[in-house]
A and B are shown apart, each in its own frame.
Chain A
Amino acid sequence: GNSVTQMEGPVTLSEEAFLTINCTYTATGYPSLFWYVQYPGEGLQLLLKATKADDKGSNKGFEATYRKETTSFHLEKGSVQVSDSAVYFCAHSGGSNYKLTFGKGTLLTVNP
């Protein structure tokens, strides 16, 4: 079936540290892959996406590469800031009617 498995949190880092949040998926067909972010008190918003194999999505210093061979879409950032503290969700559109399947989310806290 369709599923998304992402790194269990919470993740706590110091400012300027390197971030990786792992995400793997199972899906039928050729889904698009997404990272959504939820800042405290706000709704979900798209962080980045990739629509085909080997594509790299990037935004606000975050990057993720669509790896079809390992069915992965790991999120990385070279130097995190306090303002990056949020919950991060990995998702794919491989379900019927292209519905999104989400992971459970990873809470990131960045300390000054």
Chain B
Amino acid sequence: EAGVAQSPRYKIIEKRQSVAFWCNPISGHATLYWYQQILGQGPKLLIQFQNNGVVDDSQLPKDRFSAERLKGVDSTLKIQPAKLEDSAVYLCASSLEGGSTDTQYFGPGTRLTVL
């Protein structure tokens, strides 16, 4: 079974530029998550999709971050404009249904450096 795919793996940009990340979840998984992991901390949820609808985006900085999941499969996360404090690893995860006992499967992440 193929895992969660993400691209690119690394990205370096200057502040105020824009950047986009792509995620392809495990086939058949209804729930997709984007997390931000700052160095030395645990992942923090940015947004959660159930199929192509948003379930939770309470911690997404909506003035600069946006995300979509067209057709309930692939997803993109965009930052525009980027700030220095956005330097982090962005993780995509998926789970079968999004319930309390579900296992979330993580992709390898995209390491973003903002200069």
Contacts and interface: CB of A to CB of B under 8 A. Distances in A.
A binds B: yes
Nearest to A41: B108
Contact of A45 (B40, B44, B102, B106): B106
Given A44-B43, A51-B100, A105-B41, 15 more contacts: A4-B42, A31-B100, A32-B100, A32-B101, A34-B103, A46-B104, A93-B102, A96-B58, A97-B48, A97-B56, A97-B98, A98-B102, A103-B42, A104-B40, A105-B42
B108 A43 contact: yes
A99 B56 contact: yes
Contact of A51 (B91, B93, B101): B101
Interface string B78-102: 0000000000000101000011111
A100 interface: yes
Contacts, number: 62
A104 B43 CA distance: 8
Contacts of B25: none
Nearest to A52: B101
Interface string B36-72: 0000111111001000000110100000000000000
Interface in A2-28: 4
Contacts of B40: 104-105
B42 A91 contact: yes
Of listed A93, A95, A96, A97, residue having the most chain B CB within 10 A: A97
Interface in A55-99: 89, 91, 93, 95-99
B100 A43 contact: no
A93 B100 contact: yes
A45 B91 CA distance: 12
Nearest to B104: A100
A32 B95 CA distance: 14
B55 A97 contact: yes
30 contacts: A4-B42, A30-B100, A34-B103, A42-B108, A43-B4, A43-B106, A43-B107, A43-B108, A43-B109, A44-B106, A45-B105, A46-B105, A51-B101, A95-B45, A96-B58, A97-B48, A97-B55, A97-B56, A97-B98, A98-B98, A98-B100, A99-B33, A99-B48, A100-B33, A100-B104, A102-B42, A104-B40, A104-B41, A104-B42, A105-B42
